[in-house]
Amino acid sequence: MVALYESLPLILQGLLKGLAVILVIFPIAGASSMAERKVSAWIQGRPGPNRAIPPWFAWIPILGPFLQRIGVFHLMADGLKFLFKEESVPRHVNRLYFVLAPAIAIVPAFTTVTVVPFGAFLDPTGRVIPLMLAPVDVGILAVFAISSLSVYSLILAGWASNSKYPFLGGVRASAQLISYELSMTLAVLPVFLWVNAPGSAGTLSLARVVAFQSQPGFWGGSWFLFVMPLSAFIFMVSLFAETNRQPFDMPESESDLVGGFHTEYGAFKWSLFFVAEYSNMIIGSGVFTLLFLGGWNPLPWIPLSAFAEWTHLADHPVLLGAVSILFFLGKVLTLIFVFMWVRWTVPRFRYDQVMRLGWKILLPLSIANLIAYAIGIAFLQT
């Protein structure tokens, strides 16, 4: 099967990969939106959406009612509703950019998926081969570069809507992105300083970071979350801000800006913004997992290769790959749950508080963190 895939023309391979991204990310994003509703309901002491069920599922004895209780069919009904709703475009908008904005939101969100490794298997010589769609060595740089583009969609949406609240939402989105991008990048730098020891080949690859966290020994096997807790914390907070999640959802701010940048949007265009937001969350959680939570390693100090040795999965690359994807996905979904959990716990910051937190606290903190780790790493590695 692999040989057949390799023999396909390059364009067809690319198309297949793109299709794989859409087929995987869309359902996960949809399931996340359902999980969001369920988690919010449970936290507020409600059972959440649990009514919709197509008749032929109601005939299945135990599974049918269970699926109904967890609201699976509400998700489908929602998706269908968005597809068939009237696509209304207000008369006062700049039509071209108004239609373009949701598409621009989706593109970077789906493009970053390709450079994120999501699993690994062992080749016959015992080397760990990471699974990723586009094996590029610039890894984290590509993620940062492309994901920053997603703010253009918010700005474009806010501006093209040609009304006050979306405009304010767009302005806030751009200000917030600039403020938090800095501390996010600075928080990640110590990790790569540590990984790129003098003498070894320089790399920005995310898979290399995971390989670094799977070395034997106490320091080698510990996840970067334990080695660099402050970096992880700053990265996490910036991630909340970058993905426009509560308590940083300045561009949206339902209570003071109606819906922010998507006030004028409806139907499928609106749902594209939503899918983009969730896939940004998924990518963000994925990058956090790779950088600080040991990627596809099952537990700290237990790398995937050791796990394969114990379970004798080393000779079954496909099975081991699937298991490693499960480990990775489990961590990502846990992080997404944390996103939701925080959203329904912490109230939203005021705009000036967001700016103060970004510029006066997180940025100096991340610079101090970088300097401290740079000095420490310099002492350790030379």
Question: Nearer Cβ to other proteins, position 131 or 342?
Answer: 342
Q: At what angle do helices 164-195 and 267-292 cross, to 10 degrees?
A: 20
Per-residue x/- track, 235-274, other proteins (CB under 8 A): ----------------------------------------
State yes or no: residue 39 binds other proteins (CB under 8 A).
yes
Cβ 353 to other proteins, closest distance in Å?
11
The Cα 297–Cα 318 span in angstroms is 16
Cβ 62 to other proteins, closest distance in Å?
18
Which residue from 1, 6, 23, 45 is in contact with other proteins, where contact means CB under 8 A? 45
Which two tokens mark 139?
């890894």
Cβ 198 to other proteins, closest distance in Å?
36
Which window, 81-89, 131-139, 224-232, 336-344, contacts other proteins (CB under 8 A)?
Answer: 336-344
118 burial type by CB count under 10 A (0-12 exposed, 13-18 middle, 19+ buried): buried
Which residue from 254, 341, 360, 371 is in contact with other proteins, where contact means CB under 8 A? 341
State yes or no: residue 359 binds other proteins (CB under 8 A).
no
Cβ 50 to other proteins, closest distance in Å?
8
3 state SS of 350: coil
| Positions 98 through 137 that interact with other proteins (CB under 8 A) | none
Contacts of 338-342 with CB under 8 Å at 24 or more apart are 339/240, 339/243, 339/245, 339/281, 339/285, 340/35, 340/36, 340/39, 340/40, 341/39, 341/43, 342/240, 342/245, 342/246, 342/247
Which two tokens mark 159?
């501006």
Which residue from 5, 8, 27, 42 is in contact with other proteins, where contact means CB under 8 A? 42
| Beta-strand relationship, 119-122 and 128-131 | antiparallel
Residues that bind other proteins (CB under 8 A): 39, 42-47, 341-342, 344-346
